[in-house]
Amino acid sequence: MTAKLPIGILGATGIVGQRFVQMLEHHPWFEVAWLAASDRSEGRLYAEAARWKLKTSIPSRVAEMRVSPATPDGAPKVIFAALDASIAAEMEPRFAAAGCAVVTNSSALRMQGDVPLVIPEVNHDHIKLIECQSWRKKSGGFVVTNPNCSAIGLVIALAPLQHAFGLDTVMAVTMQAVSGAGYPGVASLDILGNVIPYIAKEEEKMEEETRKLLGKLNGSGIIMGSFGMSAQCNRVSRRERSRKRLFKPGTSSAACRKN
């Protein structure tokens, strides 16, 4: 029986970090061995440093861990990163340069030419871009990014259509839950009984990330998809994506929950 691979979570105390902790709780391959966040959290018990906002209980083993300094020294070689974009832009390269494999949810490096932006079911071949990274050549480390959540949903649907028919123009409209804005995120006074027809930077991300995800790997970069693309993103009065949904078509008041 192989020992599990020790991994670290950078930005462990925010909502995305908590989601990593939750999803890795009983993972067959990985074990959470290291947690880091801001200076404010350093040295504190994770359970106290994190304002746990998820529906499931905080895993007890992780709750008792102390938050480490956010530096590659003593960190595991595999890091899941969940930092704010502004901090990620500076910190992710540092960990990659120190030889870490950084798998990140942040938008900071997604559009960098030698960084793969990947949905495994769609463009796993883009991962080869890792070999072009300077960090890879110097220390073995690298950065891989996952896309913006709305772009993921859109591209998983578009990929087979592109494959079968090609894409001429894509016009996307989203209705996004408040959980996407983190915590404290969207002020209740802004969203209660309201729709906000604008999410800062979201439309740009959907547009450029969709082009990269559906683009072609070409040696040392990605040739971006050349189809027309327009996104309009809205915030609606809804807590979060729901998992199991029932849809009864044809009824006069069909209640469908939208993923």
Please say which residue, 52 or 227, places its beta carbon nearer to a copy of itself: 52
Q: Least separation, in Å, of the C-beta of 20 and a copy of itself?
A: 18
Q: Which of 28, 166, 193, 219 binds a copy of itself (CB under 8 A)?
A: 193
Cα–Cα dist 205/107, whole Å = 8
Q: Which of 183, 220, 223, 228 binds a copy of itself (CB under 8 A)?
A: 183
Query: 3-class DSSP state for residue 2?
Result: coil
16 binding a copy of itself? (CB under 8 A): no
Report residue 109: phi and psi, to 5°: -105, 5
197 binding a copy of itself? (CB under 8 A): yes
Positive or negative: CA dihedral 109, 221, 217, 94: negative
Q: Which of 188, 223, 226, 228 binds a copy of itself (CB under 8 A)?
A: 188
CB atoms within 10 A of CB 14: 19
Q: Which of the ranges 62-70, 76-84, 173-181, 211-219 carries the binding residues for a copy of itself, by CB under 8 A?
A: 173-181
Q: Which of the ranges 31-39, 59-67, 116-124, 230-238 carries the binding residues for a copy of itself, by CB under 8 A?
A: 230-238
237 binding a copy of itself? (CB under 8 A): yes
Q: Which of the ranges 71-79, 135-143, 187-195, 211-219 carries the binding residues for a copy of itself, by CB under 8 A?
A: 187-195
- Please state whether 43 falls in left (phi above 0), alpha (psi between -120 and 50) or beta: left
- Burial group, residue 252, by CB count within 10 angstroms (0-12, 13-18, 19+): exposed
223 binding a copy of itself? (CB under 8 A): no
90 binding a copy of itself? (CB under 8 A): no
Written as six digits, the tokens of 70 are 């956010």
Angle between helices 202-213 and 149-165 (to 10 degrees): 40
Three state DSSP letters for 46-92? HHHHCCCCCCCCCCHHHHCCECECCCCCCCCCEEEECCCHHHHHHHH
Q: Which of the ranges 97-105, 108-116, 145-153, 239-247 carries the binding residues for a copy of itself, by CB under 8 A?
A: 239-247
85 binding a copy of itself? (CB under 8 A): no
Please say which residue, 27 or 51, places its beta carbon nearer to a copy of itself: 51
Please say which residue, 3 or 255, places its beta carbon nearer to a copy of itself: 255
157 binding a copy of itself? (CB under 8 A): no
Binding site for a copy of itself (CB under 8 A): 51-53, 55-57, 171, 173, 175, 178-179, 181, 183-198, 200, 234, 236-239, 244, 246, 248-249, 251-258
